[in-house]
Amino acid sequence: MKAIVKPFLISFTLIDVSALFLSDLATPCLLIDVGFLHKQQASAMEPFPLPRLQIGSYSLVPKVFQCSDRYTEGTGFLAMDDALTPGVCYLHTTVVEPTNEEASDARNLAELDLPENSSYKAHLVLGLNNHHVISYYWARSAGAGSSMEAPGIELVSNKLRWLSDDWKECNSNDGKRSEWVAFLRPKDTVQLLPDEDWRSWELPIWGVSSRGRPLGSEPAVICAWDRIDLPE
């Protein structure tokens, strides 16, 4: 059965936040890579605008955090094709329990801070650059590179699992794309790419960007969106 998305309006207010970064966000939440979105829409220009996202029957208007000459209000259209384009939107989560070598089910890799009965359809990716995740090194980047799939791994409810009992067959064995998941520790953050229309997910939505950030550093949080239900 298809989820019914109730129409709602998004409004914004200015908030005085001097510096907010990816690692500061509470999880789970949704992330929109604003810089990559603008590149996809061929509108990465000066001044760098924050888009007013029109998705179906509702709008997302940014609540600006870090105001400067480069970040000004703007308008734009985010079709569902854009919303599901790899590199635009991520499900941002935190590891609460790592893999247990003595567990009866060797397919389990990590438990995330999603609801136990979560029905989110998403797949694990390399993820946005976050220098606080230091349990194991892997190549994380931004934009299209961060949306590269970690092969052989599935999300079942709130757990990351190997696709089959033969995990060696699942592992790409390149030392980067999926092997790193076995080294996750509590408080590490990971991102997943939605495989379905995420509009019905009742999660906070944040806008992040690596624009102007040093190479290798984590993205800055530049805006958020507030949901306001429309009257019946």
Plot region of 181 (φ>0 → left; ψ -120 to 50 → alpha; else → beta): alpha
Give CA–CA dist 120/131, Å, rounded. Answer: 27
Give CA–CA dist 140/6, Å, rounded. Answer: 35
The C-alpha angle 134, 138, 144, rounded to 5 degrees, equals: 120
pLDDT in tens, 137-161: 444 555 567 888 888 889 999 999 8
What's residue 69's pLDDT? 32
Domain ranges of the chain: 30-87+202-229, 90-194
* Overall size of the chain counted in residues: 232
What's residue 30's pLDDT? 92
Q: What is the DSSP secondary-structure string of the chain?
A: -PPP---EEEE------S--BGGGS-SSEEEEEHHHHHHHTT---SSEEEP-EEETTEEE-EEESS-BTTEEE------HHHHTSTTTEEEEEEEEEE--TT-S-TTEEEEESS-TT----EEEB--B--TT--SS----BSGGGGG-B-TTEEEETTEEEESSS-HHHH---SSSSSGGGGG--TT-EEEEEESS-GGG----EEEEE-TTSPTTSPPEEEEEEEEEEPP-
> Could you tell me the two tokens for 197?
């229309």
Plot region of 212 (φ>0 → left; ψ -120 to 50 → alpha; else → beta): left
pLDDT in tens, 97-119: 876 655 556 788 899 999 988 88
Confidence of residue 221 (pLDDT cuts 50, 70, 90): confident
On the question of pLDDT at 57 being above 50, the answer is no
Pairwise pLDDT comparison (128 vs 57), residue with the higher score: 128
On the question of pLDDT at 11 being above 60, the answer is no
Q: Is the dihedral angle over the CA atoms 67, 74, 217, 80 positive or is it negative?
A: positive
Confidence of residue 9 (pLDDT cuts 50, 70, 90): very low
